[in-house]
Amino acid sequence: MNKYSIEQFIKQTEQVDKGEGFFELETPRILEVNLDGLVWAKAGSMVSYEGKIKFEREGILEHGLSAMFKKALTSEGTSLMKANGQGKLYLADSGKKIIILHLQNEAIYVNGNDLLAFEPSIKHDIKLMRKVAGMMAGGLFNVRCEGTGLVAITAHYEPLTLRVTPGKPVITDPNATVAWSGNLQPEIQTDISFKTFIGRGSGESIQMRFEGEGFVIVQPYEEVYMQAQS
């Protein structure tokens, strides 16, 4: 068979059921959801589906007035949609690598721009870091996911997980920070001398400091957050 024929291309790239369950990595950058009910997903992340699936944007009052207030302050990256029905749903986000995590009565914080999908059994709450709201475009927000179930997050290129241990804090660039364990509460610090050293007006001068015991996931890429469009 000609290695460049259409038939060969289809054979190499076609969808194959792996029998992995609700979430399945069809490729490292495309998530297959074997849907029979409901899944939460990042708004705009659907690339294809088959079956009978209805999509609905998260209602602004769905989680109460406090959530509505927080959503008004954060960027479009927090927008979620509900996909309800039966079939196969394919999700992706700007070609980013997808990581599936099975929480077992655990919690994880995910950068609002890096949360792709999660099961309805997972409780989610938007957290806004007010200290940096005026320092970075769109502020800095994250989503706390808690409970038992599957969560899919995304990262540009290969993620790196750093362990945080007592007495050995980890400092990260907020734009490169993907997620961290639910028991950690990062402090925001600024380093004016570092800002001067690198000759930039923002970015690395704002840092996240993690202390205690847990982990932080970073990516070799700095995301740029845009203000929400009215």
CATH number at residue 195: 3.60.160.10
Contacts for 24 with CB less than 8 Å, ≥ 6 apart:
17, 18, 31, 32, 33, 34
Residue 208 lies in a domain: yes
Reported pTM: 0.85
Contact 137, 69 (CB under 8 A): no
Give the pLDDT of residue 75: 45
Rg value, the chain, Cα: 19
Residue 9 lies in a domain: no
Q: How far is CA 213 from the centre of its chain?
A: 22
Residue 68: which domain range?
A: 18-218
Contacts for 36 with CB less than 8 Å, ≥ 6 apart:
86
Place of tokens 């029998």: 19
Residue 12 lies in a domain: no
Give the pLDDT of residue 61: 46
Residue 223 lies in a domain: no
Cα angle for residues 155, 94, 202 (degrees, 5° grid): 65
Q: Which amino acid is at 189?
A: Q
The tally of domains found in the chain comes to 1
Residue 1 lies in a domain: no
Residue 5 lies in a domain: no
Q: Is 71 helix (H, G, I), strand (E, B) or coil?
A: helix
- Could you tell me the sign of the dihedral formed by the alpha carbons of 52, 24, 100, 149, in that order? positive
Q: CA nearest 216: which of 187, 179, 182?
A: 179
Residue 230 lies in a domain: no
Residue 34 lies in a domain: yes
Task: List the pLDDT tens digit at each of the 230 positions of the chain.
Answer: 688 889 999 888 998 887 779 999 999 999 999 999 999 999 999 999 999 999 998 765 455 545 544 454 444 445 889 999 999 999 999 999 999 999 999 999 999 889 999 999 999 998 877 665 555 544 578 899 999 999 999 999 999 999 999 999 999 998 899 999 999 999 988 876 665 555 444 445 788 999 999 999 999 998 875 433 33
* Paired strand residues for 222: none
Q: Where are the alpha helices (DSSP H) in the chain?
A: 6-13, 65-73, 192-198
